[in-house]
Amino acid sequence: MNYSVLVALLFCWLLAGCTPKSEPILIGLAVNLTGTGGTAGEYIREGAMLAVEEVNRRGGVNGRPLKLLVRDDKNSAEGIRQADQELMQEGVVAIIGHSYSDSTLQAYPQVMANGKTLLITGYTATDKLTGRDDLFFRTSVSSSSYSAATVRLLNRRGIRSITLLQDRVNFSFSEEITAGVRQRFDGAVSVVTTDSRGEVNWDSVVRQIQRQKPGAVFLLTEVATSGIAAQKLRSAGYQGDLLATLWAQTPDLIRFGGAAVEGLTILTFIEPDNPRPAYRAFAATIEKRFNKAATARTDRAYELITILAEALGRAPAHTAAELKAALLREPFETLMGTVRFDRFGDVERPVFEVRVADGRFANGGEIK
């Protein structure tokens, strides 16, 4: 190869549009792995890892492999700041994060100020980020969608009173759902608050709930707290309906709650018995690879990576701005159905009634 050809190649590689095919596209994953509720982050990491491996096995994105950079946000303000800062300094085009609405709200200003990184999540429902024309996208439904579905379910069951058990670990999520239920429900609404980051006085929590004599208790709590709350309430003789969110939609709910969670209803946009062939293959691979069943968190992480990979393949350049345009351009067919972003990067998806029956999650259908 002569000197002029070498110079031409070097000049091309220096241009943004001439990136060598072998150079990886960097995607960040910032989730809680060691703080309170860190098990959830492990499920997320496993789903993302598997998706990246499969994308790369099929040839990557237009010949370029994906590289997943994982950071532990430790479910703390400083951990979130540090995790995102490190990923942006590494040059990731997108960050998948974070594990909770509260965490994403803390991350949002820093990532948006950067202006070069897209923030995308399947784990943030807060209405505070709805309807913004920015670099934030999500595949999860909003708090208002959950509130509306909750009230439809209560009305359908003829329940006239509800107590919501809020967990301060993800307070914006639980507070927004509570506000939405208050606004829409014409029955009695009461609230009891706890904090799973410390010692929970379960005797006091149960007494407060029992005093209200609610027809249903909505556990707006992380999975271990939800399982323990169910045990404490049933042991105290509570016979009303127990509800929970997809925050509790993992096998850990049954591990912590045992027989007490039988009949509990989860409001979720994740179908537990998804019949799609792509999902069945994914679930089988997760079980074989990690020796555990796929969960709602694994599913969402896998879906997020596949959406990003497809959008990157559509984008003329791998920048946050071009990625945003590609995400908005067309819908995505995923293992969980069609995902279509509106012009603000938000989605509408059906909310399902999922019940614990015989130690497993059973889909009771869409809550209409």
Q: List pLDDT tens digits, range 24-51.
A: 999 999 999 987 666 788 999 999 999 9
Domain 3-141+275-339 sits in CATH at: 3.40.50.2300
Secondary structure string (H, E, C) spanning the chain = CCHHHHHHHHHHHHCHHHCCCCCCEEEEEEECCCCCCHHHHHHHHHHHHHHHHHHHHCCCECCECEEEEEEECCCCHHHHHHHHHHHHHHCCCEEECCCCHHHHHHHHHHHHHHCCCEEEECCCCCHHHCCCCCCEEECCCCHHHHHHHHHHHHHHHCCCEEEEEEEHHHHHHHHHHHHHHHHHCCCEEEEEEECCCCCCCHHHHHHHHHHHCCCEEEEECCHHHHHHHHHHHHHCCCCCEEEEEHHHCCHHHHHHHHHHHCCCEEEECCCCCCCCHHHHHHHHHHHHHHCCCCCHHHHHHHHHHHHHHHHHHHCCCCCHHHHHHHHHHCCEEECCEEECCCCCCCCCCCCEEEEEECCEEEEEEECC
Where are the domains positioned within the chain?
3-141+275-339, 143-268
Q: Note the pTM of the prediction, 2 decimals.
A: 0.89
Same CATH fold assignment for domains 3-141+275-339 and 143-268: yes
**What's the mean pLDDT in 209-226?**
96
The per-residue pLDDT for 37 is 66
Q: Is the pLDDT of residue 80 over 80?
A: yes
**What's the mean pLDDT in 218-240?**
96
Portion of the chain with pLDDT greater than 70, in percent:
93
Q: List pLDDT tens digits, range 255-284.
A: 999 999 999 999 999 998 899 999 999 999
Of the candidate CATH numbers 3.40.50.2300, 1.10.30.50, 3.90.190.10, 3.40.50.1100, the domain formed by 143-268 belongs to 3.40.50.2300
Q: Is the pLDDT of residue 16 over 60?
A: no
User: If pLDDT is split at 50, 70 and 90, which confidence band does 9 have?
Assistant: very low
Portion of the chain with pLDDT greater than 90, in percent:
86
